[in-house]
A and B are shown apart, each in its own frame.
Chain A
Amino acid sequence: MQDLINIGVKSIFIDNMIFAYFLGMCSYLAVSKKVSTAIGLGAAVIFVLGITIPLNWLVYNYFLKPGAMTWTGIEELATADLSFIGLIIYISVIASFVQLTEMVVEKLSPALYAALGIFLPLIAVNCSILGGALFMIGRPYNLAEATTFGLGSGIGWFLAVVALAAIREKLKYSHVPAPLRGLGITFIIVGLMSFGFLSFMGFSIN
């Protein structure tokens, strides 16, 4: 349990997807103009990361990893190493899951679709989703830890995008030099926020 809490805290604050790795920056900058849209996309990221990371964990550990397919009982498969096609598999899992969710949500809950729907296609190409999958592969997580990592990374992304959106809303009332307006000042603010998050470094529960 303690391990899970530590992984959760680490992925939310210390290894924050935005401030430590700068993953998912494109959509991060695009939707952080208003707090309401930021909350929408942030929630969608938590949802998709929380599900696709365990899904990709299963795919990696039962199909792709060297020797992962011993459960089939076929000798040729038991020694197969498919990890080199991992990339194409992870992204297919992510993209098909996103498309599936979009279709299900559209049928079942039009209200939720109206709120989240436009963000879902954006998520398939959000680097933080694929990045999360690749980080997860590189670390010796079990299924519960992988799920915690996925949810934690999503929450970290959510926090980062909502915080930036709130700052950018206030920024409208300040005098920024004309060429720096918009993208330039946003980058500098992200850098300063990243300094703030550095203060969580080394934080853990023993």
Chain B
Amino acid sequence: MATATVEEKKVAAPKEPIFGRKERQLLSDPLDLNNPITVQVLGICSALAVTVQMKPALFMALGVTFVTMMSNFFISLLRNSIPSRVRIIVQLAVVSTFVILVDQILKAYFYDVSKQLSVFVGLIVTNCIIMGRLEAFAMGNKPFPSLIDGLGNGLGYGAILMIVAFFREIFGSGSVFGFKVFDAMGINYIGNGVLVIPAGASIVIGLVIWAQRARNGQVEEE
């Protein structure tokens, strides 16, 4: 038994595992401790604007995850041949290509969602999460870790989006994914209009940040 495990280790040691601890950390950090929205303060615009209901929020989260992953990967491939003076334009060109893809797919197959999200699909281009990750990670790392980093940050963004959208939809219009929860339970619930307007989103996100930081013990000194 003992010799077998030693042999296994010998075989495993020289080549780096494709999905090792480093990659797992890249994936899990943005979900909580280094969340793009609540800790890095990136990509707030869309988080506030598309979270009235859960369905558009889910599509937005998927779209942003796809764009972050792909643009992180491609910018990382190109990172040594981009002149630093014009790098922003190059990055924006790559990002907007993927955003146009997402936009066209939504228009073709999910037209109602595309109408609901309106300009915010296009605004994925200037979503600071994407630019932030490109600058902070993809410009200095290999393509595969960049891909994982993009996936992690997209999921972290999506997680906050879904939490905020859940509270806004259930208390704002009494439903979850369009399913009338309170009606099904036989309770007559009148939606709280404050949560439907943009101001409500801002307050909900403030409270989410409060809860998360209280749990993780993070304190920001001004």
Contact = CB atoms under 8 A, between A and B. Distances in A.
Contact of A26 (B45, B93, B210): B45
Contacts of A178: 219
A19 interface: yes
B200 A191 contact: yes
A163 interface: no
Nearest to A86: B122
Given A87-B122, A177-B210, A95 B49 contact: no
A130 interface: yes
B198 A19 contact: yes
Contact of B88 (A87, A88, A124, A126): A124
B221 to A, nearest CB: 7
Interface stretch (B10-18, B57-65, B126-134, B168-176): B126-134
Given A91-B126, A99-B89, A22 B202 contact: yes
B44 A185 contact: no
Interface residues of B, number: 49
A125 B209 contact: no
Interface string B194-219: 00011111110111011001100111
Interface in A132-168: 134-135, 138
A182 interface: yes
Contact of A88 (B93, B199, B217): B93
B131 A125 contact: yes
B100 A87 contact: yes
Interface residues of A, number: 51
Tell me whether chain A's interface is mostly helix, strand or loop, or mixed: helix
Nearest to A98: B88
A91 B44 contact: no
Interface string A192-206: 101100100000000
A22 B210 contact: no
A111 interface: no
B198 to A, nearest CB: 6
B68 interface: no
Contact of B203 (A23, A126, A188, A198): A188
Contact of A184 (B123, B199, B210, B217): B210
A106 to B, nearest CB: 12
B86 interface: yes
A181 B219 contact: yes
A194 B199 contact: yes
Contacts of A79: none
B88 A25 contact: no
Contact of A134 (B43, B96, B123, B217): B123
Nearest to B42: A26
Interface of A: 19-26, 29-30, 33, 84-85, 87-88, 91-92, 95-96, 99, 121, 124-127, 129-131, 134-135, 138, 171-172, 177-188, 190-192, 194-195, 198
5 contacts: A21-B198, A84-B100, A187-B202, A194-B198, A195-B199
Given A23-B49, A30-B41, A87-B100, 18 more contacts: A25-B48, A91-B126, A92-B93, A125-B128, A127-B123, A130-B122, A130-B123, A130-B125, A130-B126, A131-B123, A134-B123, A179-B218, A180-B209, A183-B41, A184-B209, A185-B206, A188-B207, A191-B199
